[in-house]
């Protein structure tokens, strides 16, 4: 990819897709993790542009276009979900450490 694409979703003739995720909204991690989950049906190439992450997604088998649309839909939703997961994880990171520290501290219910 030499020039930056601007349309959020481009379908190429060879069946591959280009999807753009604005950096202001999505984190790279969310995009990567969502991609990972779809590695059973697509291969992925992720590029960083100035304002967006560009995901080149190539289905590993021929898929009818309707199924492809569904795939893209659930992929995009998955990126959103991943983003939410990250937010939850970062917000709860400290309290999680606190809970685990307490879980493994000495005072247990079993000790007298």
Residues that bind other proteins (CB under 8 A): 33, 36-40, 81-82, 84-85, 87-89, 91-92, 95-96, 98-100, 102-104, 107-109, 111-112
CB contact at 8 A, 34 and 82: yes
Q: How far is the CB of 109 from other proteins (least distance, A)?
A: 6
d(CA 73, CA 75): 5
Q: How far is the CB of 95 from other proteins (least distance, A)?
A: 6
Residue 65 or residue 108: which is nearer to other proteins going by CB? 108
- Angle in degrees, 0-180, between the axes of helices 65-103 and 28-37, rounded to the nearest 10: 110
Residue 24 or residue 103: which is nearer to other proteins going by CB? 103
Residue 62 or residue 111: which is nearer to other proteins going by CB? 111
Any bridge partners for residue 44, and if so which? 57
Q: How far is CA 19 from the centre of its chain?
A: 12
């Amino acid at each position: 990819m030499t020039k930056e694409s601007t349309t959020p979703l481009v379908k190429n003739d060879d069946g591959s897709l280009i999807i753009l995720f604005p950096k202001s909204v999505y984190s790279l991690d969310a995009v990567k993790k969502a991609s990972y989950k779809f590695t059973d049906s697509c291969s992925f190439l992720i590029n960083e542009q100035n304002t967006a992450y560009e995901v080149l997604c190539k289905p590993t088998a021929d898929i009818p276009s309707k199924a492809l649309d569904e795939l893209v839909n659930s992929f995009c939703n998955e990126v959103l979900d991943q983003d939410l997961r990250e937010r939850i994880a970062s917000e709860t990171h400290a309290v999680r450490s606190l809970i685990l520290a307490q879980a493994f501290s000495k005072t247990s219910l079993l000790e007298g």
